[in-house]
Chains A and B, each alone.
Chain A
Amino acid sequence: MLTRKRRRLGAKIAVFTGLCLGAAFAGLPVVWMLSTSFKPNGEVFAVPPKLFTKNFSFDAYTAILSDGAQLRFFLNSYVVALSVTALTLLVAILAAYGFSRYEFPLKKSINAVIISVQAVPPITLVIPYFGLVVTLGLYNTYPGLILTHMVFTLPYAIIMMTAYFNTLPKELDESVKVDGASSWTALWRVLVPVSVPGMVAVGVYTFMISWNEYLFALTLTRTDDMRTVPIGIQLLMGQHSYEWNQMMAMSILGSIPVLILFLLFQRRFIGGLTSGAVKA
């Protein structure tokens, strides 16, 4: 009995130690970024390295936030990511309604195309996109970025929204149609209002993809006033002679929207995944 208890305690200590080692691997780089952002730049590579500096300050953050060029990156990222989110939701809701509520010729093939779009490598698309965007006069503009980001966000949004609509009973929209309303009214007046949780999940995910996108933002814009945050972080590496504290502050500021969205919707994100796997 005693040995059994002891063995259990031993296992507990072993698992806890393993978890702590894993947490150090996963978390220490993030802690180090945070710590560096509060240091004066001269102290970044001090020997021995210090986690907590005596000269703690928010100087790096104020430097970023008072620099119009840096703020412009944030403005660009918000404009692009919010537009992509709104447009993706609109187009995906319409498509999902078609997939969920109708049978029609070529339904399976169209669905297969939408799914396979997800596997196409961005590097394959970026060359013709460059040609297209220049031809259409969208080079170095918001619409050029917004449109091309949608190629990543749309397939998954349609798949997610269709799955969501499929969980809602058909009687819901058909009852409105019997009263003489069109399917259009049924969609916007009945289905969309009860689909807010699904739309939030799709919207959050779409926002994150667009906010983080790098390759298209790099190739389809040219001037600094059109660059987004990920490119801004990279530019900071070149132009200042390695202001590490400012680079870390910019990285943290650039991660905040995604971190907040994740913390707010964490349960929905992980829970959705978990419940999906249990059902399968």
Chain B
Amino acid sequence: MNSAKLDHAPPAPPAPVAVVAPQTRAAPPGRARRFLAKSGAPFGYLSPTMILIFVLMIIPIVMVISYSFKDNVIVQQNSVFVGFANYTTVLTDPDFLAALKNTFVFITVSTVAHLVLGLGFALMLNTSLLSGWTKAIFRIIYILPWLFTVAVIAVIWRLMLDPSGVVNYLLTTLGGMQEGVNWLSDPGKALWALTFINIWAGFPFFMISILAGLQGISGDLYEAASVDGAGPVRQFWNVTIPQLRPVLISMAVLDLIWTSQQFALIWMTTGGGPLNVTEMLSTYTYKQAFSSYEFATASAAAVIVLLLTMVLAFFYVRLQKER
């Protein structure tokens, strides 16, 4: 989840600290246990969850699908069934197709960069050359971007990337650039600036997960490789990467899903502009609904987004099963 930028998935729960001594009393007889299970107790415990999921997930999805086949929904009375007309409208809208293309560029570039940066930083933090303290300090600095909410990240980068901001100052004085660039308003650069911000915001979660994966690789594998005469580069490609492969692939698929759901960052930096160059599926759908009040076409777009996410989620589940 992102928006929960901290939408990034959380760590596993810690193991319980207090280990309780096993009790010596006899377990209840099988019949009693079966009676308890049949008595519906588990459904009692699950009922609040099931009601919430029904109201907050099942009903809304049914609603949005039914909206997408109708006209005049939410803001007007007397909605009529229009078949796939809303889908035709959306799929032939050049703005939607641009949003689809932009989303594709945004999520693939972000994910690849997250992987490369996360892996690079994790490898450096995993070195045996530096003391534990030094590494702990660097680790906290590296996690910093992950700790700020998207609204704050948007404000920080609007300050940094302002035409008279500090990034342009550094690039013109040190980088030899001739004049300042309006990063977020220049149609040729806005998508790349936005992707850069997203890369900054998202790499720490990759780094933490990959670091955990690195620490799980047995030292014996490296020893065996070095006995066989493999240098650090061969060890990286023949031991580290194959061992990390499952972590890297599932992180990448999760990141594609999360990044495709990013809304707040885009909305608060470029708003989809200039000239639609940073319009994404999420901002397109939002504008259809809450700026144009075209809730029916917005619903069709929302269902398309849901279907695309389901394709990615399907791959994720398949990968998890292979592990």
B138→A19 contact, CB < 8 A: yes
Stretch with Cβ within 8 A of B (4 or more), from A55-63, A64-72, A209-217: A209-217
Asked if B160 and A32 make an inter-chain contact with CB atoms under 8 angstroms apart, the answer reads yes
Collect the chain B residues with CB atoms within 8 Å of residue A108's CB.
Answer: none
User: Which of B16, B60, B263 contacts A167 (CB under 8 A)?
Assistant: B16
Given contacts A171-B27, A258-B6, contact A275 B14 (CB under 8 A): yes
Whether the pair B147, A259 counts as a contact (CB closer than 8 A) is yes
- Give the CA-CA distance A273 to B263 in the complex, in Å: 27
Closest to B16 in A: A167
Q: Give which listed residue, B10, B17, B57, B261, contacts A121 with CB less than 8 A.
A: B261
Residues B12 and A26 in contact, CB atoms below 8 Å apart: no
From residue 25 to 46 of chain A, which have CB atoms closer than 8 A to chain B? 25-27, 29-30, 32-33, 36, 44-45
Residues in A whose Cβ lies below 8 Å from that of B43: 98, 104
Give A199-224 as 1s and 0s: 1 = Cβ < 8 Å from B's Cβ atoms. 00110010011011111001100000
Question: Given A29-B157, A95-B45: A23 and B141 within 8 A (CB)?
Answer: yes
User: Within 8 Å of chain A (Cβ to Cβ): is B64?
Assistant: yes
Q: Write out the residue numbers on chain B whose beta carbons fall within 8 Å of the beta carbon of A90.
A: 48
- The interface size bin for chain A is 35 or more
- Interface hub of B63, B141, B150, B306 (most chain A Cβ within 10 A): B141
Q: What's the nearest-Cβ distance from chain B to residue A253, in Å? A: 10
Whether B25 contacts A171 by the Cβ 8 Å rule is: yes
B31-68, CB under 8 A of A: which get 1 and which 0? 00000110001111110111011011101110110010
| Contacts between chains A and B (CB distance < 8 A), count | 358
With A15-B124, A22-B121, A255-B149 as known contacts, state yes or no: A123 contacts B263, CB within 8 Å: yes
Instruction: Contact check, A29 vs B200: say whether CB atoms are below 8 A apart.
Output: yes
Question: Once the chains bind, are B28 and A177 in contact (CB under 8 Å)?
Answer: yes
A137 an interface residue at 8 Å Cβ cutoff?
no
Q: Which residues of B contact A277 (CB under 8 A)?
A: 209, 212-213, 215-216, 247
Report the bound CA distance from A51 to B15 in whole Å.
43
Q: Kindly state whether residue A152 has any CB partner on chain B within 8 Å.
A: yes
Cα A15 to Cα B120 with chains together (Å): 11
Q: Which of B182-190, B223-231, B234-242, B278-286 contacts A (4 or more CB under 8 A)?
A: B278-286
Hey, which chain B residues are within 8 Å of A78, CB to CB?
none
**Interface status of B164 (Cβ within 8 A of chain A):** yes
Asked whether, in the complex, the Cβ of B27 is within 8 Å of the Cβ of A174, the reply is yes
Instruction: State whether B160 touches A102 (Cβ < 8 A).
Output: no
**Which chain A residue has the least Cβ–Cβ distance from B302?**
A124
Quick one: which of B252-309 are within 8 Å of A by CB?
257, 260-261, 263-264, 267-268, 281-282, 285-286, 289-290, 295, 298-299, 302-303, 305-306, 309
Q: A175 contacts B25, CB within 8 Å?
A: yes
* Residue of B with least CB distance to A88: B52
Cα-based distance from A102 to B44 in the complex (angstroms): 11
Chain A residues with CB under 8 A of B46: 94-95, 98-99, 110
Question: Assuming A131-B67, A244-B159, what are 10 further A-B pairs, CB within 8 angstroms?
Answer: A26-B144, A104-B42, A117-B53, A120-B61, A123-B286, A125-B64, A131-B295, A262-B147, A271-B11, A275-B14
In order of increasing CB-CB distance, the 3 nearest A-B pairs are: A273-B11, A98-B45, A276-B12
